[in-house]
Amino acid sequence: MTPEQSNSDYDVTGTDTNRRQFLKNSLIITAGCLVTSLPFSSLAQNTASSADPLRAFIRVTQTITEHKQVNAELAAHFFNAFVKKVPEFTQQITPLGQLIQADMSAVTFAEKAQAAGLRDLLQQIVTAWYTGTVGNDYHGILVSYQQAWMYRTVSDGLVVPTYCGNGPLWWTAPVPDANSTAVIDAL
């Protein structure tokens, strides 16, 4: 199995170092300062002349997931994978982004995308962020393993498999409150 893209997974649940945290913070784009100066021009191989589609992609991501933080470097990797994998992606992402209005909820955005015939693309984008993969089958392009968003929903209680969470025999510790929304609210 040959991965198309091997993105470095630099922050490990429960084991962040200061350096890792600094790197993460330096690359996060928040809803309040969207795409000002993206520090990843060398990563966006196919996007040097298409800043607007990439900008739209990040806006779409933030609106449909209601996540406050999006890793810009990772977004560029996902964007490039979509360009490779989905032929109509570059043409569709800008109109999809143009459906977004201020303070729009994810559900409303999904309804507007449905009406515009763009719901499938929107679902592909959501799926990619949560699974770390662009594409639903074994021909999919792996963009990130450790940073797939599915793992973030339970990061207070479960490790990302393959990573060592909290040392030998750690799992005998009490479990967190499954009803807590703290880790989700922080996304």
Partner 1 sequence: MKKPEFTASGDVSADVVIVGSGIVGGMMADRLVAQGYSVLVLEAGLRITRAQAVENWRNMPFANRAGSDFQGLYPQSPLAPAPLYFPPNNYVNVTGPSAGSFQQGYLRTVGGTTWHWAASCWRHHPSDFEMQRKYQVGRDWPISYQEFEPWYCEAEYEIGVAGPNDPTMQSPAERSRPYPMEMVPFGHGDNYFASVVNPHGYNLVPIPQGRSTRPWEGRPVCCGNNNCQPICPIGAMYNGIHHVERAERQGAVVLSESVVYKIDTDSQNRITAVHWLDNQKASHKASAKMFALACNGIETPRLLLLAANKDNPTGIANSSDMVGRNMMDHSGFHCSFLTEEPMWLGRGPAQSSCMVGPRDGEFRKEYSANKMILNNISRVVPATKQALAKGLVGKALDEEIRYRSTHGVDLSISLEPLPDPDNRLTLSTDRKDAHGLACPDIHYDVGDYVRKGAEAAHDQLRHIGSLFNAKEFNITTSLNANNHIMGGTIMGDSAKNAVVDSNCRAFDHENLWLPGGGAIPSASVVNSTLTMAALGLKAAHDMAQRLKGGV
Residues lying near partner 1 in the complex (CB under 8 A) are found at: 1, 3, 6, 9, 64-66, 105-107, 109-110, 122-123, 126-127, 130-133, 135-142, 145-146, 148-154, 157-159, 161-165, 167-172, 174-175, 178, 181, 183-184, 187
Write down the least CB distance from residue 54 to partner 1, Å: 21
Sign for the CA dihedral angle at 4, 143, 54, 56 comes to positive
Q: What is the DSSP letter of 160?
A: P
- C-alpha angle 85/81/161, rounded to 5°? 115
Give the pair of three-digit tokens for residue 15: 């084991």
Closer residue to partner 1 (CB): 22 or 170: 170
Write down the least CB distance from residue 42 to partner 1, Å: 21
Write down the least CB distance from residue 23 to partner 1, Å: 19
Closer residue to partner 1 (CB): 95 or 165: 165
What letters, b where the CB count within 10 A reaches 16 and e where it falls short, cover 29-64?
Answer: beeeeebeebebeebbeebeebeebbbbbbbbbbbb
Give the pair of three-digit tokens for residue 96: 């999809």
Write down the least CB distance from residue 75 to partner 1, Å: 18
Closer residue to partner 1 (CB): 55 or 67: 67
